[in-house]
Amino acid sequence: MDSGKASDRIRWLQSELSRHARLYYEKDQPEIEDADYDALFRELQDLEARFPEFSTPDSPTRRVGSAPARQFAQVVHNVPMLSLQNAMDDSEFLAFDERVRKALGLQSVDYVVEPKIDGLSCEIVYRDGVLVQASTRGDGQVGEDITANVRTIKDVPQRLKALSFNAEPGLFDEVSPPLPELFEARGEIYMPTEPFRQMNQERLDAGMSAFANPRNAAAGSVRQLDPAVTASRPLRFFAYTVGRLDDREILSQRDLLRRLREHGFQVSSLIRPARGAAEVLDAFKRLGSERDSLPFEIDGAVVKVDSFELQRELGEISRSPRWAIALKFPPRREKTVVNRIVVQVGRTGVLTPVAELEPVKVGGVMVRRATLHNIQEIRRKDIRIGDVVEVQRAGDVIPEVVRPVISERDGNETIFNMPDRCPSCLEPVAGRQDEIAWRCTNISCPAQFREHVIHFASKRAMDIEGLGERMADLMIEAGLIHEISDIYALTVTQISALDRMGDKSAAKLVAAIEASKRRPLAALINALGISLVGETTARDLASNFGSLAALAAASTEDLRQVQDVGPIVATSIFDFFQSRRNLDLIERLRQAGLTMMNESAAGGGPFEGKSFVFTGSLQKMTRDKASDLVISLGGKVSGSVSRGTSFVVAGSDAGSKLAKARELGVAVISELDFLAMAGADA
């Protein structure tokens, strides 16, 4: 492709991807499948890598993977981000309204009633329409710089939309309307309820702790040192105000909300104007009745005096505006009894204790079960079977046991201990009473088997195309597979007998299964689903040990020599290879003909004995691909620079690792040098 064509294509892809992101996130009306979106996205990434001169700072690809901040720099807010006074009930609001009317000498005041989203306040600064900085509220005066992370939130415009003129067609064709020199949008970063629930489940499955509520999840996701982590979290943004405002056309909160929308921000459709206190309380009541059907969590309403002139007249008091107040919903907390504590088995075998409660209505929703998260939480809160407990819908979403009511104990309550055996397969479980994550390590546990099959066949593991959730269910129902290794014994006849499977697609699936035998060692390690071992750790393990046999024989001390493998991960890997069943499975996979070592480990390679560290962004290939290349040539890839590092490959925007390499006198090479060494085409 020549550079003219590439430029056109890049520009087209950038605008198409932005449009699809808008359709998906703003309108909930996606036009294309996620997979097609991903394909366009990857095409853009590749083209921008080949023609970096056409990559722009606001490209959709820049929403992920910018250089991680080492820590959060401080940002001084131009205009302090004030906190609000609270009204806990109607009478406190009426008192507020009376103070406002008295101060202004008015009979009635026009307000705007906005839902109070349970998230994290944020300021996003645009210069000449381009996003340049984002920061947390902090203490109101000084916040934290979270620019790279906020860029990954698809609701947040990278560039403000220009305002459209209501002029005769043709008149302004050549002149695009000006964008404000400075625009400081403020609003709430939040995580919608359903993705929050899903994310928590995934975290529990991976043996990580769950977030208590969507607000914590949003805050935790935004304050990540690696923007790629933030990008992977389902965050959204609602704008509701600005910092400094230079536009004299904007005279009220309603004008301002309209302007925010015109600039491309999400503004809540639940916002309502209200003439006088009675209408405010009506609107508040309506919000309360809509609350449970909303896709995100709100904990009340924010009521603002609409007119900016009146706002100025009222002023502020001790960092709170006199013209606004937060009207809070009453807490949703009830008392009930813990009848039993049961244990659920998650995807990777994590055991989660769950309280079975005497059914109780909390905030209009019948609650029968509540997660107790883990044994440590149970101990910390001292929750016992038979206790009267307070239950709340945490972040008002997931029912949570807040605390036992000690005064109601009669001595018949019993202390809960984690079971010795998995409730699904009755195999012994791994865990100690003082540990957070308990798990069933039996790879053939029925509760985990289906999920194992799906994980094993997934793209980043064995990459068996055609073996997804539906096919896994069909195969398990038909009794074709009982163990992971059974996948390799499947025949075209068996598969084509399954529901609506033709010979042709059955043959395709068998071919995909056959091809998966040659997947690299790292993929196989990932596919085994060792708890706490994800794709990255699997790659590190593959490059360090070279074969599955060596990994299986490694002591926890050996394992801890691997970059980023701490004591907990090391123990998890070690335990995995102590299980007879797991070793049997591996043996069966070996007999099925799977590659169980790095190709280079078998015959040596040009990079044998050499270790590489990548820093900055590469232009010609992704870091993953570069890592695979090193490993395929017998070398090792490490995440940090040490005296033992052979080469640091510095891409653009290389940061601290480059400095460290210079300090230690480690050889620094460019991406092109690296490709030449690897004998790869530049």
Cα diameter, the chain = 89
Is the CB of 350 or the CB of 445 nearer to Zn ion? 445
Minimum CB separation from Zn ion for residue 147, in Å? 45
Active-site option among 116, 620, 636, 657 = 116
Cα–Cα distance between 566 and 577 in angstroms, integer? Answer: 17
Judged by CB under 5 A, the stretch of 181-189, 209-217, 377-385, 418-426 that binds Zn ion is 418-426
DSSP string of 216-281? HHHHHHHT-SSHHHHHTS--EEEEEEESS---TT--BHHHHHHHHHHTT----TT-EEEEHHHHHH
Amino acid letter, 643: R
Residue ranges of alpha helices (H) inside 51-108 are: 90-104
Helix (H) or strand (E) holding 12: helix 3-25
Least Å distance, CB 445 to Zn ion, is 3
Backbone angles phi, psi at 240, to 5 degrees: -145, -5
Q: Which stretch binds Zn ion (CB under 5 A): 173-181, 425-433, 537-545, 641-649?
A: 425-433
- Rounded Cα distance between 163 and 242, Å, is 17
Closest separation in Å from C-beta 240 to Zn ion: 48
For Zn ion, the closer of residues 311 and 424 by Cβ is: 424
Q: From the CB of 579, what's the least distance to Zn ion, in Å?
A: 11
The yes or no reply on residue 422 touching Zn ion (CB under 5 A) is yes
How far apart, in whole angstroms, are the C-alpha atoms of residue 355 and residue 376? 14
Work out the end-to-end distance of the chain between its first and last CA atoms, rounded to an integer number of angstroms.
Answer: 15
- Using the minimum distance from each CB to Zn ion, give the nearer residue, 259 or 347: 347
Residues 242 and 260: beta-carbon distance below 8 Å: yes
Closest CA to 81 of 124, 35, 38: 124
Contacting residue, 210, 425, 487, 532, with Zn ion by CB under 5 A = 425
CB of 375 to Zn ion, least distance (A): 17
State the nearest-atom distance from the C-beta of 349 to Zn ion, in Å: 6
Q: How far apart are CA 320 and CA 433, in angstroms?
A: 47
Q: Which of 524, 655, 520 is nearest to 589 (CA)?
A: 524
Q: Contact with Zn ion (CB under 5 A): which of 424, 563, 595, 627?
A: 424
Q: Under a CB-based contact definition with an 8 Å cutoff, are residues 130 and 158 in contact?
A: yes
Sign of the CA dihedral 634, 638, 641, 647? positive
According to the binding rule CB under 5 A, does residue 325 interact with Zn ion?
Answer: no
User: Taking the complex as a whole, how short is the minimal distance between the CB of residue 423 and Zn ion, in angstroms?
Assistant: 7
Let me know: does 484 contact 516? Beta carbons within 8 Å. Answer: no
Instruction: Name which of 671, 664, 573, 578 is nearest 622 in CA terms.
Output: 671
Which of residues 446 and 606 has its CB atom nearest to Zn ion in the complex?
446
Residues 428-457 that bind Zn ion (CB under 5 A): 440, 442, 445
Closest CA to 192 of 238, 148, 252, 133: 238
Q: Which stretch binds Zn ion (CB under 5 A): 90-98, 207-215, 334-342, 422-430?
A: 422-430
In the bound complex, what is the minimum distance in angstroms from residue 422's beta carbon to Zn ion? 3
Window 279-298: residues binding Zn ion (CB under 5 A) = none
Residue 523 contacts Zn ion per CB under 5 A: no
Q: Which is nearer to Zn ion, 391 or 445 (CB)?
A: 445
Is the CB of residue 580 less than 8 Å from the CB of residue 428? no
Q: Active site includes 102?
A: no
Q: Which amino acid is at 14?
A: Q
d(C-alpha 72, C-alpha 135), whole Å: 9
| Subset of residues 597 to 656 that bind Zn ion, contact rule: CB under 5 A | none
Nearer to Zn ion, 195 or 423 (CB): 423
Smallest distance, Å, CB 492 to Zn ion?
A: 32
The residue (of 258 and 482) whose beta carbon lies closer to Zn ion is 482
Burial of 163 (0-12, 13-18, 19+ CB in 10 A): middle
Whichever of 204 and 618 has its CB closer to Zn ion, that residue is 204
In 3D, which of 80, 60, 69, 66 has the Cα closest to residue 16? Answer: 60
Provide the minimum distance between the beta carbon of 575 and Zn ion in the complex, in angstroms, as a whole number: 14
CB-wise, 394 or 445, nearer to Zn ion?
Answer: 445
Whether 72 contacts 66, CB under 8 Å:
no
Q: Tell me how far, at minimum, the Cβ of 199 lies from Zn ion, in Å.
A: 24
Number of residues that bind Zn ion (CB under 5 A): 6
Stretch that binds Zn ion, among 178-186, 268-276, 420-428, 621-629 (CB under 5 A): 420-428
- Phi then psi for residue 365, to 5 deg, are -115, 130
Which residues between 655 and 674 bind Zn ion (CB under 5 A)? none
Q: For residue 237, what are the contacts with CB-CB under 8 A and spacing of at least 6?
A: 122, 150, 153, 155, 156, 187, 188, 189, 190, 265, 266
The smaller minimum CB distance to Zn ion, of residues 102 and 432, is found at: 432
Q: Judged by CB, which is closer to Zn ion: 234, or 349?
A: 349
Q: What tokens does 391 get?
A: 């239950």
Residues found near Zn ion in the complex (CB under 5 A): 422, 424-425, 440, 442, 445
Catalytic residues: 116
